[in-house]
Copies of this chain bind each other. A is one copy, B any other.
Amino acid sequence: MPTYRAPVEQVQFLLNHVVGFQAHAQLPGFADATPDVVEAILSEGGRICEEVLQPLNVSGDREGCKRQADGSVITPKGFREAYKAYAEGGWIGLAAPAEYGGQGLPYTLAAAINEFATSANMAFSLYPGLTRGAQAALLVHANDEQKNLYMPKLVSGEWSGTMNLTEPHCGTDLGLIKTRAKRNADGTFSITGQKIFISAGEHDLTTNIIHLVLARIEGAPAGTKGISMFIVPKFLPDAQGNPGARNAVSCGSIEHKMGIHGNSTCVMNYDGATGFLIGEENRGLNAMFVMMNEARLGVAVQGLSMSEVAYQNAVSYARDRIQGRALSGAKDKDKAADPIIVHPDVRRMLLEMRAFNEAARGLILEAALQADVVARSSDEKAREEAEDMLGLLTPVLKGVLTDVGFDNTVKAQQVFGGHGYVGEWGMEQFVRDARIAMIYEGANGIQALDLVGRKLPKDNGRAVMAYFKKVGETVQRAENDATLAPLAKSLKTGLDHLQKATMWLMQNALAKPDNAGAASTDYMHLFGLVAMGQMWLVMAQAALRCKADDPSTAAEMDAKLIVARFYMERIMPETGARLARLSAGAEALMALPAEAF
């Protein structure tokens, strides 16, 4: 059975020495998050994930969710109690505003806890995750009455939330949505249609479920400009705000999925269900985008989480499993064979995961901190810069972290050989669970298009120019240090490739948009490689400082310097191949007629 230990110290290292968490003490909620408080929160959050959520991961996968004849859904054994403990511990409302019962702490900390929860039990973590997404949308778009009615219950976890976008015939292209909203005399709407792939659509964890639903009001313009967003509660709140009459929304079936079996993914049928408009008519996509941006960062975390827990288990197996001898001669002569961690190729797999995990975690915390600045800073300039950076990095993190995170679960499984393919060790579940993150909240190809088509050209490239400047400065700061110079050189080459790729896009994509599409995935991964390289160089600098300040950390910091070197030598070289591929342009891709495939 797999195990999990929350990487609390890794998060602390990043917060305190790399991303500059304490420098934001002036932001609302940050003053309360002193290093001691942060340590207590991370430890306690880690503990509940390790002790309450993780033990239900394998059983939740095997048992799955079960739809009853009456349309109700039973979650796996233990999920109800775990959900109650998680909600009562305040983890769902950790970063939510105090006025609705939240703890008002930095979103950055919530992102860290989200990593732990997902590593421990990805299927479970989606229930609070969707609820937090619903909170985010309501906070920005709902009116005060709606906020007062729904927010406290969502923050406490008494009620849960969902996002209803996808229909059988449309996912990416929301302009095709058919679900209809008919205006009622009392100002409410009657919602009719079918939604699919609705995570946490129906379950037994909470007394009510608040569906946020995209639908088209009668007479609305065609396409994306005619979509509105509605609150459709499973039970309509009564005058006291308690669950009242059952609404005409029901779970038609549960999807049979490759993984995340513990999460109830539903086909939801709306049969004239009462809905309440949120925000403006026909502006539903804007409202949904608020949820989606936070959701995309949350999905990026899933890539990291699955890679981290898969790595931990692969390391443990590689240390224990004896098989064959080291190439350089027997290491453990008293035993019949050496542990497989002596083999360079096993170490390669482990280090590829490790190098990714630490950099990805740094990038997630950095992005989360930017989200905190955007949401909480009173400094307009700081907000604008943070928004630029967050907008630019969100598609990169969603796309790259879930692609590579999935690959890493496959690598971790490979370390186990045949034992990785059978259920017993739990490794194949990580692969099956991680796979969805590349698909939902915008398939990774859509993230790549968002990056090249929207985020790059935005404000004449202001965000990307600022990013290049930042990476360039990191290189400059490191170039004259003997230890860091080789790392800086590698990052500089990567940055050069990214800049060349950006230039290529500027010169070739405007006149021929297919060139942008053809380059998009390679560009996104090239960007991700540089972003992780930048993070490794900053982490290496921090490791040198920490080691000098506190020699007792030397072993730990030396390990970081070794992994930094591994990253630059073994992962960074991919930037050249990515640049060469995308520079080939769209011609060979577009030449084949559709019928010739």
Chain A residues packing against B (C-beta within 8 Å): 166, 170-173, 175-176, 196-197, 255-259, 315, 318-319, 323-324, 327-328, 336-337, 339, 341-351, 354, 406, 410, 413-414, 417-418, 420-424, 428, 431-432, 435-436, 438-440, 443-445, 448-449, 512-514, 516-518, 520-521, 555-556, 559, 562-563, 565-566, 569-570, 573-574, 576-577, 580-581, 584, 586, 588-592, 594-597
By the criterion CB–CB under 8 Å, are B520 and A339 in contact? no
By the criterion CB–CB under 8 Å, are B586 and A569 in contact? no
Most buried by B among A420, A512, A556: A420
* Nearest B residue to A438, CB-CB: B414
With a cutoff of 8 Å between Cβ atoms, the chain B residues found around residue A590 in the complex are: 344, 347
Do A597 and B315 contact each other (CB < 8 Å), given the known contacts A445-B414, A569-B581?
A: yes
A351 to B594, CA, bound (A): 12
With a cutoff of 8 Å between Cβ atoms, the chain B residues found around residue A517 in the complex are: 327, 343-345
* Listed A/B pairs (30) with beta-carbon separation below 8 Å: A166-B418, A176-B323, A197-B418, A256-B422, A256-B423, A257-B421, A257-B422, A257-B423, A258-B421, A315-B597, A319-B597, A327-B513, A328-B513, A339-B594, A343-B517, A344-B520, A344-B590, A345-B517, A345-B521, A346-B445, A348-B518, A348-B521, A354-B597, A414-B438, A420-B439, A559-B592, A559-B596, A565-B591, A569-B581, A569-B584
With a cutoff of 8 Å between Cβ atoms, the chain B residues found around residue A350 in the complex are: 597
Instruction: Tell me how far the C-beta of A440 lies from the nearest C-beta in chain B, rounded to whole angstroms.
Output: 7
* Nearest B residue to A418, CB-CB: B197
* Nearest B residue to A518, CB-CB: B344
A258 to B170, CA, bound (A): 30
With a cutoff of 8 Å between Cβ atoms, the chain B residues found around residue A256 in the complex are: 422-424
* Nearest B residue to A444, CB-CB: B414
Per DSSP, are chain A's interface residues mostly helix, strand or loop, or mixed? helix
With a cutoff of 8 Å between Cβ atoms, the chain B residues found around residue A589 in the complex are: 344, 347-348, 351, 566
Do A414 and B443 contact each other (CB < 8 Å), given the known contacts A344-B589, A569-B581?
A: yes
A366 to B205, CA, bound (A): 58
By the criterion CB–CB under 8 Å, are A436 and B414 in contact? no
Most buried by B among A347, A432, A581: A347
By the criterion CB–CB under 8 Å, are A258 and B197 in contact? no
By the criterion CB–CB under 8 Å, are B439 and A171 in contact? no
A570 to B589, CA, bound (A): 10
Known: A171-B417, A348-B518. 20 other contacts (CB 8 A): A171-B418, A173-B337, A197-B418, A197-B422, A257-B428, A258-B422, A319-B595, A339-B594, A343-B517, A344-B518, A344-B589, A345-B520, A347-B589, A418-B440, A556-B596, A566-B588, A569-B581, A573-B580, A573-B581, A576-B580
A350 to B590, CA, bound (A): 12
With a cutoff of 8 Å between Cβ atoms, the chain B residues found around residue A175 in the complex are: 337
By the criterion CB–CB under 8 Å, are B431 and A418 in contact? no
A514 to B342, CA, bound (A): 9
Do A512 and B328 contact each other (CB < 8 Å), given the known contacts A256-B424, A588-B566?
A: yes
Instruction: Tell me how far the C-beta of A354 lies from the nearest C-beta in chain B, rounded to whole angstroms.
Output: 7
By the criterion CB–CB under 8 Å, are B514 and A328 in contact? yes
Do A565 and B588 contact each other (CB < 8 Å), given the known contacts A172-B323, A417-B172, A444-B414?
A: yes
With a cutoff of 8 Å between Cβ atoms, the chain B residues found around residue A576 in the complex are: 573, 576-577, 580
By the criterion CB–CB under 8 Å, are B573 and A574 in contact? no
With a cutoff of 8 Å between Cβ atoms, the chain B residues found around residue A591 in the complex are: 562, 565
By the criterion CB–CB under 8 Å, are B573 and A588 in contact? no
With a cutoff of 8 Å between Cβ atoms, the chain B residues found around residue A595 in the complex are: 319
With a cutoff of 8 Å between Cβ atoms, the chain B residues found around residue A577 in the complex are: 573-574, 576-577
A381 to B592, CA, bound (A): 43
Instruction: Tell me how far the C-beta of A282 lies from the nearest C-beta in chain B, rounded to whole angstroms.
Output: 18
A413 to B315, CA, bound (A): 29
Instruction: Tell me how far the C-beta of A333 lies from the nearest C-beta in chain B, rounded to whole angstroms.
Output: 14
A569 to B579, CA, bound (A): 11
By the criterion CB–CB under 8 Å, are B410 and A435 in contact? yes
A341 to B410, CA, bound (A): 28
Instruction: Tell me how far the C-beta of A223 lies from the nearest C-beta in chain B, rounded to whole angstroms.
Output: 9
With a cutoff of 8 Å between Cβ atoms, the chain B residues found around residue A196 in the complex are: 418
By the criterion CB–CB under 8 Å, are A337 and B418 in contact? no
With a cutoff of 8 Å between Cβ atoms, the chain B residues found around residue A418 in the complex are: 166, 171, 196-197, 439-440
Do A439 and B414 contact each other (CB < 8 Å), given the known contacts A319-B594, A592-B562?
A: yes
With a cutoff of 8 Å between Cβ atoms, the chain B residues found around residue A346 in the complex are: 445
Most buried by B among A341, A444, A556: A341
Instruction: Tell me how far the C-beta of A566 lies from the nearest C-beta in chain B, rounded to whole angstroms.
Output: 4
By the criterion CB–CB under 8 Å, are A555 and B596 in contact? yes
With a cutoff of 8 Å between Cβ atoms, the chain B residues found around residue A574 in the complex are: 577
Do A584 and B570 contact each other (CB < 8 Å), given the known contacts A576-B576, A589-B348?
A: yes
By the criterion CB–CB under 8 Å, are A172 and B324 in contact? yes
Instruction: Tell me how far the C-beta of A587 lies from the nearest C-beta in chain B, rounded to whole angstroms.
Output: 8
Instruction: Tell me how far the C-beta of A589 lies from the nearest C-beta in chain B, rounded to whole angstroms.
Output: 5
Instruction: Tell me how far the C-beta of A90 lies from the nearest C-beta in chain B, rounded to whole angstroms.
Output: 32
* Nearest B residue to A416, CB-CB: B439
